[in-house]
Amino acid sequence: MPYDPSAFPPFAVTVDLVVLTVRRHALCALAVRRGEPPFQGRWALPGGFVRADEDLAQAAARELAEETGLRAHDPSVPAQDNGAHLEQLATYGDPKRDPRMRVVSVAHLALAPDLPAPRAGGDASNARWAPVDELLQQGGYGRDGEPVAPLAFDHAQILSDGVERARSKIEYSSLATAFCPTEFTVGELRRVYEAVWGVALDPRNFHRKVTGTPGFLVPTGGTTTRQGGRPAQLFRAGGATLLNPPMLRPEV
Amino acid sequence: MPYDPSAFPPFAVTVDLVVLTVRRHALCALAVRRGEPPFQGRWALPGGFVRADEDLAQAAARELAEETGLRAHDPSVPAQDNGAHLEQLATYGDPKRDPRMRVVSVAHLALAPDLPAPRAGGDASNARWAPVDELLQQGGYGRDGEPVAPLAFDHAQILSDGVERARSKIEYSSLATAFCPTEFTVGELRRVYEAVWGVALDPRNFHRKVTGTPGFLVPTGGTTTRQGGRPAQLFRAGGATLLNPPMLRPEV
DNA sequence: ATCATAGTCGTCTGCCTGACGATAAACACT
DNA sequence: AGTGTTTATCGTCAGGCAGACGACTATGAT
């Protein structure tokens, strides 16, 4: 095909973000309320246009910072604090996914520790952490009794893909620690797995597995009783990124 | 951010293909020679612009058919013959990746059985299957003694990501069968794993593993001696897509 | 003091893998 | 026909790891 600038159609390119966190034992995603049509008033994933001089990862990191104040974890700086994990998820380009024009969206997945209230342009009522089950259920009523509308555009599909990616990725990587604060206990880490997978795990076997995997956890020396019960050792995430053998997700 | 058509820059969107196959015990990728600048005369991955009314997967399937004659496997039709596996790989959007203009490329990964000669616009000299090691090595000389130039654009990165995806995906899925003809032997399947991973596997343990995994292989009843030696049973790919427990890749 | 809660250490059993011996069935020679 | 070579296939054994679960420890709440 010879090069002809008129031979290709112009696209708008956006990044959309699936920002996941664990709050109150539930896997939650960041949702923002749309202020203008289409889908005005509906919840959607945060996102925005990629700028002319911007890489895709930069655009995703910028949007993440704008929506949450989080800085993305630079993979070259292992021991960075309070940064979210950010990775490209997939790209969605159905010709009809945006009724206005042809938009290709490069979705990214961010995993963040539990945060204070979100902010969207300073307006808290237009951004919230919602349990992913609630965001993904079609119709019906949420836990507060209000009717639930499906997410705008194809964002339910994107969110679903992001959740699936997170579920499988914590199996074979140490990424579950991205949901935890800098220092955390084995029990807190276990509750992350339980929230993301939606299952109950045996505390004894889990403890044996994570403390026995070299490089996964580094003890800080401190202890805490913030969960009640016997004081628990505090750990930081170790240098290992890949878990081998992986953490096994129970059947069904 | 209010909607303003002038607020976003226009992008060109392309699909690039990493088409992998196993030939003569080596993992090979399809490369095409560029006929015009930039990178004129250099090898590149096949690809092209996404059309105005086309989904990304459609565009990838169209390019795959144009370059190889392969039809992409429709995931909803399990027992389809001679179709290639096609999946989205990742999206590359560095502002400077194409010197002409801002191009975002949605790379796709295709796994195909060994094919006759490739064709690129009917001209065989402009398309070839090349061992991925050869395409990825920087400079130096290929096996035929000719100097090796790096792939055009960021295609070395894309190819490298595609190979890594294929290597990890055959661990926990039955995708290795996508490299095989419709009917194949356990030994042929083992040689696929050996070529993709670049390791030697124990034939006895491999045989035990694949024949013992329910749904992976279905015996057709026939046998063949095309590999020499004792006749081997022929199999077809079974319905299972996920391998649990996975096939373990040897260390190092 | 007693209870509830959470954390930590052990034990046992079964499954899976890696290492490897042994046999089987073809073909290519002599 | 016999011998060697090649590939396929079955078996055995030991070690590692996961699931199930018992036991004990150290807090705070009542």
Task: Tell me the pLDDT tens digit for each residue of B198-233.
Answer: 999 999 999 999 999 999 999 999 999 999 899 999
Q: Which nucleotides of chain D does any protein CB come within 7 A of?
A: 5-12, 17-23, 25-28
How far is A226 from chain B, CA to nearest CA, in Å?
Answer: 37
Angstrom distance (rounded) from CA A10 to CA A102: 8
Work out how many CB contacts closer than 8 A connect A with B. 94
Provide, in whole angstroms, the distance separating residue A24's CA from nucleotide D29's C1'. Answer: 22
Angstrom distance (rounded) from CA A113 to CA A68: 11
Q: Which of B10, B49, B93 sits opposite A106 (nearest CB)?
A: B93
Angstrom distance (rounded) from CA B78 to CA B6: 45
Task: Tell me the pLDDT tens digit for each residue of B57-84.
Answer: 999 999 999 988 888 876 555 445 557 9
- With CA of B204 and C1' of each nucleotide, the nearest comes out as D9
Angstrom distance (rounded) from CA A216 to CA A237: 6
- With CA of B229 and C1' of each nucleotide, the nearest comes out as D7
Task: Tell me the pLDDT tens digit for each residue of B110-138.
Answer: 999 997 666 656 565 689 999 999 999 97
Angstrom distance (rounded) from CA A190 to CA B39: 52
Using a CB-CB distance cutoff of 8 angstroms, which residues of chain A are in contact with residue B91? 56, 88, 91, 106
A97, B99 contact by CB (below 8 A): no
- Taking the alpha carbons at both ends of chain A, their separation in whole angstroms is 50
How far is B49 from chain A, CA to nearest CA, in Å?
Answer: 6
Q: Which residue approaches C21 most closely, CA to C1'?
A: B204
Q: Which amino acid is at A58?
A: Q
The CB density around residue B96, as the number of other CB atoms within 10 Å, is 9
Q: Which residues contact A176 (CB under 8 A, 6 or more apart)?
A: A170, A189, A192, A193, A196
A203 touches strand C (CB under 7 A): yes
Angstrom distance (rounded) from CA A71 to CA A60: 11
A201 touches strand C (CB under 7 A): no
The structure's pTM equals: 0.93
What mean pLDDT is predicted for residues A201-210?
A: 98
Q: Do B91 and A91 touch (CB under 8 A)?
A: yes
CA-to-CA separations, A173 to A237, A243, A248, in angstroms, rounded: 12, 5, 11
Q: Which of B52, B93, B95 sits opposite A102 (nearest CB)?
A: B52
What mean pLDDT is predicted for residues B228-246?
A: 96
Element (H, E) at B110: strand B103-111
Angstrom distance (rounded) from CA B11 to CA B167: 32
B204 touches strand D (CB under 7 A): yes
Q: Do A55 and B90 touch (CB under 8 A)?
A: no
Please report the pLDDT score of residue B148 as a whole number. Answer: 78
Q: Which residues contact B108 (CB under 8 A, 6 or more apart)?
A: B15, B16, B17, B18, B57, B60, B64, B86, B87, B88, B89
Please report the pLDDT score of residue A117 as a whole number. Answer: 60
